[in-house]
Structure 1
């Protein structure tokens, strides 16, 4: 009596087909997860500049080059407003109704870079409250930072 050892070709083909279907679903979902996490990370990185911005306003250090923004280089986003100088200070004067803008680039998800790189923008009112907005698609926007 011979007993079967191993798998038949059809069994192996079925397994490969199942793996292919799972991969076809999982890979796009993973890309969405990566983009969403990068937008959240960028929101936190640019949001940290708000503290330095407020401190500089309170201390009267609003002239160009007077405020240490505390910005460190990021591999997914560049601080474009206020633009930091090489020593980490502001290149332009700060205002009470200013903005903090980060633009996606470098290693950011392709959906965030594209032909027109997406941005994260923190906007300060004259009264001192901050609001967040992003040009990233809504599906990537974190809570508290409206997307388009």
Structure 2
């Protein structure tokens, strides 16, 4: 009576594991990337609300130092708030580290924009029509 596994059986098991890993790993990395994007979209939405609250109190965006500069740090994105005049602003999230190539922004009209460069499978530019949050997703 034979005990253990034959070389053929082990090779079949390794092949099945390799095929499963080949399918699962790209899906996992896309899932991780999508989870990191929520940091940018959530922070941009939060800051937009704070800017609108400031506008309701002061009737202008200029000198909106408090809502526009406080807590703009992020783990995967750098956030910059630009207030060129009293009637407009743009808040931009630029990816860093594994999120390099992702840029999201929102303005006073709730115009959302995604610019994604050098990331295969992602839409490259959605000007004013929304944020791309999934690979191959629409604006």
TM-score bracket relative to the smaller structure: 0.7 to 0.9
How do residues 77-116 of structure 1 correspond to structure 2 at under 5 angstroms? 77-82=77-82, 95-106=86-97, 109=98, 112-113=99-100
* Bigger strand fraction: 2
Q: Larger relative contact order (C-alpha < 8 A, sep ≥ 6)?
A: 1
Give secondary structure in 2 for the equivalent of 1:135. strand
Give secondary structure in 1 for the equivalent of 2:22. helix
Which one has the largest radius of gyration?
Answer: 1
CA contact (8 A) 1:64 1:93 kept: no
Normalization by structure 2: what TM-score?
A: 0.73
> Residues of 2 paired with 1:37 and 1:15: CA distance?
32
CA contact (8 A) 1:42 1:120 kept: yes
Bigger shift: 67-76 or 45-54? 67-76
The reply to whether residue 138 of structure 1 matches residue 131 of structure 2 is no
> Residues of 1 paired with 2:65 and 2:40: CA distance?
25
> Residues of 2 paired with 1:52 and 1:20: CA distance?
49
For the aligned residue pairs, the C-alpha RMSD in angstroms reads 2.8
> Residues of 1 paired with 2:13 and 2:45: CA distance?
47
Alignment match, 1:124:
108
Bigger shift: 3-12 or 94-103? 94-103
> Residues of 2 paired with 1:12 and 1:124: CA distance?
61
> What do the CA deviations read for 1:50-69 (whole angstroms, capped 9, x no partner)?
11111111222644464333
Aligned residues: 124
* Bigger helix fraction: 2
CA contact (8 A) 2:39 2:74 kept: no
